[in-house]
Structure 1
Amino acid sequence: MQAVTDADFETEVLKSDKPVLVDFWAEWCGPCRQVAPILDEIQAAHGDKITFVKMNVDENPVTPAQYRVTGIPTLNVYQNGEVVKQIVGAKPKAALLNELSDFIG
């Protein structure tokens, strides 16, 4: 998954033509490491419909604070510059596919 930063968040995420799922994560977060391979699988199957990126909250504190990301992993889906879905915590693949069905269906 491509990494985004506070500096390029607006360009890569908010101005994207298609929905963007942002995985807010950190190196020390166990559940983040559990959800990463699941997101890779979903991206492989549905990457044409929704863009997947990740943001390290330790290296990029501004954006997570702006979107009130208090727990990680948090998955925010942005469409037309707005948060249209927020998923907090590690979830199994079936649950994530269900949550994202509006964007990948």
Structure 2
Amino acid sequence: MGLGGCILQAEYEMKMKAMMVFFFSATTPFGIASGIGLSNVYRENSPAALMVVGILDAVSAGLLNYMALVDLLAADFMGKKLQEDMKLQAISFVAVFLGAGGMSVMAIWA
């Protein structure tokens, strides 16, 4: 949803927007079709499958960390309101660490 919103807000020509929307909407059906096609040859516990899943999980986690820390939190923490109020800044840091700790604890069962 976020990517779709960014595509619509971007200052591109209509042709470029239409092409981006097409590829955005075609990725899920393509992924489902390739998953169905590969399900006959995929062995869940093979060493190659475990390596691929581990690498893809690590890349996904890294991208999510980057987005959270650089794109989202940096904009909030560099704002004028937070920079001028030390108490609000301390509360924000504690909230970030509690949220990250809570997500880490939930990862035990994931």
**Which bin holds the TM-score, normalised by the shorter protein?**
under 0.3
**Could you tell me the TM-score, scaled by structure 2's length?**
0.20
Q: Which has the higher helix share?
A: 2
Q: Which has the higher strand share?
A: 1
**Could you tell me the TM-score, scaled by structure 1's length?**
0.21
